[in-house]
Amino acid sequence: MLATRSAGKLRELEPLLSQHGWAAVTLESLGVPATASEEALESFSTFEENALAKARHFATLTGRVVVADDSGLSVAALDGRPGVHSKRWSGSHLEGAALDALNNAFLQERLADAERRGRVSREAAYVCAAACVWPGGAVCVLGETRGQLLHEPRGVGGFGYDPYFFSHDLQATFAEVERDRKAEVSHRGRAFRALFDELEGFFRQPVDRGAQSG
């Protein structure tokens, strides 16, 4: 089960799962209602802790193998902020495009303030912790991609801070490229490919026919 209510994340993660031979269900398809307590799941200081907390919560709730992530933007001139607070950095409780717009406006305000104080670097990294929890086990890995934050948005794809994040790998913003190209180098793509590699060892073990006979 994919433990996210973000339409943007689902669009990116479902193809990645499919490429590795996994079929996923979502919170919506299982009829798991949203609750106010879900926001409190991501209250830790690291991406890894937040991803594992989310996965454990929904694994306990549904009894399924659960995959979850926590991701965000780390900006050098802002001492790593917004980090784990990336989703609600502006303080808004809106969702979707409206929330993205407020967060990006707040980001530009903070960068302008940093520049006035002599911190002119716009280097940044997207970071993702991908976790999987199942009865009796858990694993969590990190993925990262580096870039530079632009003064003006470019592109209409992606979500979050993507229109401002100019990828060093792609030489374009994450909002300017197709989803598959973004997934090749994105923090989320790298984290989940590493996670699936780890999970192969847990869920695709060769069957010992001799041990089963008799």
- Position 163: which residue type? P
Report helix, strand or coil for 150.
Answer: coil
Cis before residue 206, ω within 30 degrees of 0?
no
The pLDDT of residue 17 is: 84
Q: By percentage, how much of the chain surpasses pLDDT 70?
A: 94
- pLDDT at 206 > cutoff 50: no
Average pLDDT over residues 5-20: 86
> How far apart are the C-alpha atoms of 96 and 79, rounded to whole Å?
26
- Give the residue from 93, 70, 94 showing the smallest Cα distance to 82: 70
Average pLDDT, the chain: 91
| Contacts of range 52-55, beta carbons closer than 8 Å, 24 or more positions apart | 52/129, 52/131, 52/133, 52/138, 52/140, 54/3, 54/131, 55/3, 55/131, 55/132, 55/133, 55/138
pLDDT digits (tens, 9 = 90+) for 42-56: 899 999 999 999 999
- Is 79 annotated in the active site? no
User: pTM to 2 decimals?
Assistant: 0.88
- Selecting among 69, 70, 100, 162, the annotated active-site residue is 70
- pLDDT at 142 > cutoff 90: yes
Assigned CATH class of 7-204: alpha beta
Provide the residue ranges of all domains of the chain, joining segments of one domain with +.
7-204
- pLDDT at 185 > cutoff 80: yes
- Give the residue from 110, 108, 90 showing the smallest Cα distance to 100: 90
